[in-house]
Structure formats: structure tokens, C-alpha cells
Structure 1
Amino acid sequence: MTGEIRERTSARRVALVVAAGRGHRVGGQIPKQYLSLGGRPILRHALATLAAHPDVDAVRVVIHPDDRPLYDQAATGLDLLEPAPGGAERQDSVRLGLESLASLAPEHVLIHDGARPFLSMGVIDRVIAALDTHPGAIPALPQADTLKRDDGAGLIGGTVERAGLWRAQTPQGFHYAAILDAHRAAAGQALTDDAAVLEAAGGRVALVAGAEDNGKVTTPDDLRRAERRFQGPGEVRVGNGFDVHAFGPGDHVILGGVRIPHTHALMGHSDADVALHALADAIYGALAAGDIGRHFPPSDDRWKGAPSDVFLRHAGALVQALGGRLVHLDLTLMCERPKIGPYRAAIAARVADILGLDGGRVSVKATTTERLGFTGRSEGMAAQATATVSLPG
């Protein structure tokens, strides 16, 4: 979450968010995807969720070129690819967005409507899982209401059998090569969604469970209903993190961003700050956003020897991007040596500073394991952390 445009040469799974529409039915002087919802642009809600998902490697938004200043405001602080220009119709915009991903050669692509702000991690998980066995998958809800056909004169022309009918949602997931070929073949047609594009090319699309909250903001009433979600107390999440590092040669350890003299150093790919690693994983856990290894792979040499405050800041920025706040952090350090007591206040203050928190929201404790286990034998250190996060309802 650096706020800089991400440069990538490859990505296994990319989310493509369609936000080039000019619709004003919801009201206002700007396209609906940039109207405020809960103090943030409608578009930002979905972007933040997709950017936080541990199995989405990159996110690209398709925008109208005239909307670049609005887009930049909505995307501030999010780690996204450079946006792509859209076309005259939604289908054109999706095709152009897919073409723009060719250099990344993704295996899968998730196509999402920017006006669906309340996307959940669970919906994304189900779509991704279905792509293991199908070339396409969409979230959907079974049709519950009786359906009537209009005769064109304002009268009922017939009743439609609702059995087997589903309401399609997004993100719709596809094998990238299959949906790109299908969109190229369907250019100039007027198909209603991307699943229909793949169907027209002979592809089979799986249905997975959608979510009632995953609705599209189209009318003023939709926006008013969406706003009511932000008038309640919100949702409180709790996440746990645990980390271990072994001792090796050295004359100090880094704990909570604080240098502490010791007869050994902690070994790891980064600076091996066991405290900040546990804290970051606790925050990721509260967000259902994976772990440090997912966001900062140890196979990537960029993170070799890196200071671990980078990881913790990233986790804190994800909370902010999702419109939430960190309520409290509780850290327990486990070791025989070094003695943590003299440094406990400094560690708490450093963690609070990294995350922009009041110091009273960070608790740091230390314990031994009564000389039992690897920590008792002074072979390494362990840390356990709990993060309490408040998110919009």
C-alpha cells in the first residue's frame, strides 16, 4: 500500500474493475462510481477489498479518460496497476481492459463492476476456487420473487417460471485466455455480462453462492440504502499472529523496531523482527487478508534484510483502505534472553508510531517458557499478537 503505481511483469491472478461508465441515474454531477459512500468514493470500497485479498496479485481499473482526477482520488494509497482507458460500451471497456493485461499473461482474471461496493472476501474466495475446475465462474443468488413479463402496454403478459433462475453478480472469474478470445469474438455484440460472452463462445460457467450485500448502486434509493450500512456501530474483528525466529551470530536483536544488545541476532530473510511479524500477521488475520509471506514473499530479494516496519505499515494501510481502524494491539514476546522489561515501553511507542496509533492502544508483554522448549533452551524467540480492528458494518 505504497500509493505508487505497481510495476509488474507477471501476475497469476488479476482483478479488472470496470469503472468507465457515465451513468448519472443515481444523481450528482459526476459518474456514480465516484460519489461518496461512507466518506469514500463508491469505487474505492471494492478496490480496497480486491487489493487486500491474498489471492489477487494485481488490480487494474478501466476508466473513462476524462475521469482520471476522480480516479486518482479514489485510488489514493492503494497498490494498483496503471488504469486502462475504456470504450463506448461496457463490453468494449472489458475487452480493452483484458487486452491491456496481455503483457502480464495472467492465468485467471476477475471482472468486477466498480459500482458494487460491498464485495466480500468470501465471494472472491468462492469464485477463485471454482476456476480450478471450470473456465468461468460467477457469484449469483437464486431468484426468490415471482417474475412477470410485461406485454408492452403496462399489463402482465405472462408469468415466468422462476425455478432454476439466478441473479448474476460480480466479480465474474475466468481463465484469462478463454475470456479474452471470447471477448474478441463477441466485439460489436450487446451481451449483458461477461459470463454471457464466454457462453456465446461455447464456454461453461459455474455458479457459486453470491451475497445479498453485493448489490449494485444504480439509483438514489440504492445509495441511500448503502449509506445506512455506515450508520450502525460497525463490525469488530479480532486476528491472531504468531512468529518464531532462531538465534544466530550477531550482537543485537531487532524487536518491535527497537535495537536491543544481545549475544546473538535473530535470523530471517528480512530483519527477523519477530514482534512486528506477529503484529502484522494479526492485522492481516483480522482482515482475512493472508499473511506476510503472501504480501511479501521470502522468494523476492527485495525483502532480503528489509526493516519489518514496512510489513506492519502495509498491514495498517490495508485497515485504513477498507475504511476501518485499529482499536488495540496486544503483543507477547517469549524468550529467556534478552530481558524485555527495560525495552517494553520503547517497543510499544515504536509500534504506535509506525501505525499512527495512540500509545495506549498498544500492549507489550514478555514471558519465559520456564526453560522448556526451544525458547527455554535460548535457541530462538517467539511472539504472539492479537489485533482488534473495527470495520464499517
Structure 2
Amino acid sequence: MVQGLAPARKPVAAEAAAPASPASTSSIPFRVGHGYDIHRLQPGGKLVLGGVVVSEQLTAVAHSDGDVVIHALVDALLGAMGWGDIGELFPDTDPRWKGADSRLFLREVCDRLRAARQRVINADITILAEKPKLAPFRSQMLLELRALLGPECLLNIKAASNEGCDAVGRGEAVAAHVVVLLAAEA
């Protein structure tokens, strides 16, 4: 044993590592979730981010509309609740979601949150893209997302480039990271 370190714990049994049941987690006052999504870009079509068309020269290669902002937001919300991920709820193998407006996904998850008596306190969103420039669309994205999450939700959207590094930096892809804080309703 290394001086100052606690001894290693025994492996956890599979039953103990299983996700907590909703009944056992109902007293948790706050929950944090992180979501990430990335899609390749191709010429033509429309690129939708945060529910807003930001380009009519590029489109995301995706089963749905490819809105990485909403996909990452949905994953963050699902993660905070321990409800899996967007692919489990809206699989790309289901023809119902072909070309679907991602706001439908967010609306469904928000309905589930309300039923679970959870509210979104804040969402911090970082969009990674070389093109198009997103500053002109930030206010409209905030309006679209606030309409779905509720006016009391504190939202922040930042955009960054990857400075020429990787697929995002070369303009071949767009990505988003989202961190959310949920609170239990009283």
C-alpha cells in the first residue's frame, strides 16, 4: 500500500452498479448532465443549430435534421436524469425520425422532465464550428431554446472554432457540448 492512500475497494457487484430507480433518486435536489454531438458537413441543404437555420449552403449528415446543439442538449438532460441517451429514445433505425425536426426530441424530453417534477435551471452551450459565423444567430437560438425549456431557464450559447485542428477545424464537421443543471420541483 502506498503511504497516504486508502486501500483499493473490492469490485462492485453488478446489482449494486445498476442505475438507480426513479423512486430512490426522487430526493436528489440537483442534477448535472453533459451532452456532446458532432456531425459531418456537406455542401447543399440547410444547417440547423439550436432550432435555427444558420446556413443554406451546408447541411449536417444525419438521420434527423442533424441539429448538434439540440442533440447535445437532449443528451445532457437525459444524462442528468440517468435516462440513457438520444439514440436510445430516438434511434436512427426508426424511420419516424428520418429528417425529423430535433425540437420534437427536446419537447418530448422536456415533457418527461416536467412529469418527473424536474426543471432546467440552466444550460451552458458551446458550439464548435469554423463556418458559418454564428454570432448573428445567437439571439434567435436563445429564443428557440427558451421557448422549449421555459422562460425561467438561464441559457448561454458560445461559439468557438477549432483553429484549423481536426474535422471541425477544417470545416468538415460541426459539434456542440452542453452542460445542464436540473432542480427538483418542491
The letter for the 2-side match of 1:371 is: G
Q: Is the 8 A contact 2:46 2:54 kept in 1?
A: yes
Q: Is the 8 A contact 1:262 1:338 kept in 2?
A: no
Once the two structures are TM-superposed, the CA of residue 355 in structure 1 deviates from its matched residue by 2.2
Aligned to 2:104: 310
Q: Is the 8 A contact 1:253 1:260 kept in 2?
A: yes
Aligned to 2:136: 342
Aligned to 1:284: 78
Matched residue of 1:272: which SS?
Answer: coil
The whole-number CA distance in structure 1 between the counterparts of 2:21 and 2:37 is 29
Aligned to 1:382: 175
The whole-number CA distance in structure 2 between the counterparts of 1:298 and 1:357 is 31
Q: Is the 8 A contact 2:123 2:155 kept in 1?
A: yes
Using CA pairs under 8 Å that are at least 6 residues apart, name the structure with larger relative contact order, 1 or 2.
2
Once the two structures are TM-superposed, the CA of residue 243 in structure 1 deviates from its matched residue by 0.1
The whole-number CA distance in structure 2 between the counterparts of 1:367 and 1:376 is 10
Once the two structures are TM-superposed, the CA of residue 249 in structure 1 deviates from its matched residue by 3.0
Q: Which protein has the larger Cα radius of gyration, Structure 1 or Structure 2?
A: 1
The letter for the 1-side match of 2:20 is: G
159, 162, 169: which is aligned to 1:366?
159
Once the two structures are TM-superposed, the CA of residue 357 in structure 1 deviates from its matched residue by 2.9
Matched residue of 2:93: which SS?
Answer: coil
Aligned to 1:242: 36
Q: Deviations over 1:234-276 (max 9, x none)?
A: 6111000000001123143111110112432111000001110
Q: Is the 8 A contact 1:329 1:387 kept in 2?
A: yes
The whole-number CA distance in structure 2 between the counterparts of 1:270 and 1:363 is 24
Structure 2 runs not aligned, ≥5 long:
1-17
Matched residue of 1:347: which SS?
Answer: helix
The whole-number CA distance in structure 2 between the counterparts of 1:237 and 1:123 is 15
The whole-number CA distance in structure 1 between the counterparts of 2:185 and 2:52 is 33
Distance 1:244 1:264, change over 3 A: same
Aligned to 1:122: 20
Q: Is the 8 A contact 2:119 2:185 kept in 1?
A: no
Overall identity of the aligned pairs, in %: 36
Q: Is the 8 A contact 2:129 2:174 kept in 1?
A: yes
The whole-number CA distance in structure 2 between the counterparts of 1:380 and 1:357 is 31
Alignment map for 1:137-216 (pairs within 5 Å)? none
Q: What is the TM-score of this pair, normalised by structure 2? A: 0.83
The letter for the 2-side match of 1:269 is: H
> How many residue pairs align between the two structures?
169
Once the two structures are TM-superposed, the CA of residue 363 in structure 1 deviates from its matched residue by 0.7
The whole-number CA distance in structure 1 between the counterparts of 2:70 and 2:140 is 13
The letter for the 1-side match of 2:53 is: R
Aligned to 2:9: none
323, 328, 331: which is aligned to 2:117?
323
- Please identify runs of 4+ aligned residues in structure 1 that moved more than 2 A: 355-358
The letter for the 2-side match of 1:122 is: A
The whole-number CA distance in structure 1 between the counterparts of 2:46 and 2:96 is 23
The whole-number CA distance in structure 1 between the counterparts of 2:178 and 2:21 is 28
Q: Deviations over 1:7-31 (max 9, x none)?
A: xxxxxxxxxxxxxxxxxxxxxxxxx
The whole-number CA distance in structure 2 between the counterparts of 1:251 and 1:392 is 41
Once the two structures are TM-superposed, the CA of residue 317 in structure 1 deviates from its matched residue by 1.4
The whole-number CA distance in structure 2 between the counterparts of 1:320 and 1:273 is 23
The letter for the 2-side match of 1:237 is: R
Aligned to 1:132: none
Once the two structures are TM-superposed, the CA of residue 392 in structure 1 deviates from its matched residue by 5.3
Q: Deviations over 1:67-112 (max 9, x none)?
A: xxxxxxxxxxxxxxxxxxxxxxxxxxxxxxxxxxxxxxxxxxxxxx
The letter for the 1-side match of 2:85 is: D
Q: Deviations over 1:35-72 (max 9, x none)?
A: xxxxxxxxxxxxxxxxxxxxxxxxxxxxxxxxxxxxxx
